[in-house]
Amino acid sequence: MEHKGCWLLAIVLILGLSSLANGYIQLSQEQCAQQPSARVNCGYPYISAEECNNRGCCFDDSIVGVIWCFFPRTEEGNRAMGQFFPVPQYTENITVV
């Protein structure tokens, strides 16, 4: 019985630490400084700043009508579009007015 408790505690600790590894990613202002027309989409509609950042992307919602969640720049310019991020499935209808 005592061994089961130790294993359960170990599993909980491992899962907790792995979720911390997916936390905030610090990007420099230079990496996120791009012309709005040069931004490559890294998110999906209504993505939060936190979710965008957890993907390793930049978030800037100060300009209406352009991409808010976008890939950071590299030394070569914009990041290649070879990464795949699954888009979450919406469970409710969203009405656009």
- The single-letter code of the amino acid at 47 is I
- The single-letter code of the amino acid at 96 is V
E strands along 3-85, which residues? 58-59, 69-70, 73-74, 77-78
d(CA 61, CA 64): 7
Q: Is 46 left (phi over 0), alpha (psi -120 to 50) or beta?
A: left
Instruction: Give the global pTM.
Output: 0.55
Query: Which fold is adopted by the domain 24-83?
Result: Spasmolytic Protein; domain 1 (4.10.110)
Could you read off the pLDDT of 1-51 as tens digits, one per residue?
Answer: 566 654 545 554 454 444 444 455 778 888 899 899 999 999 998 899 999
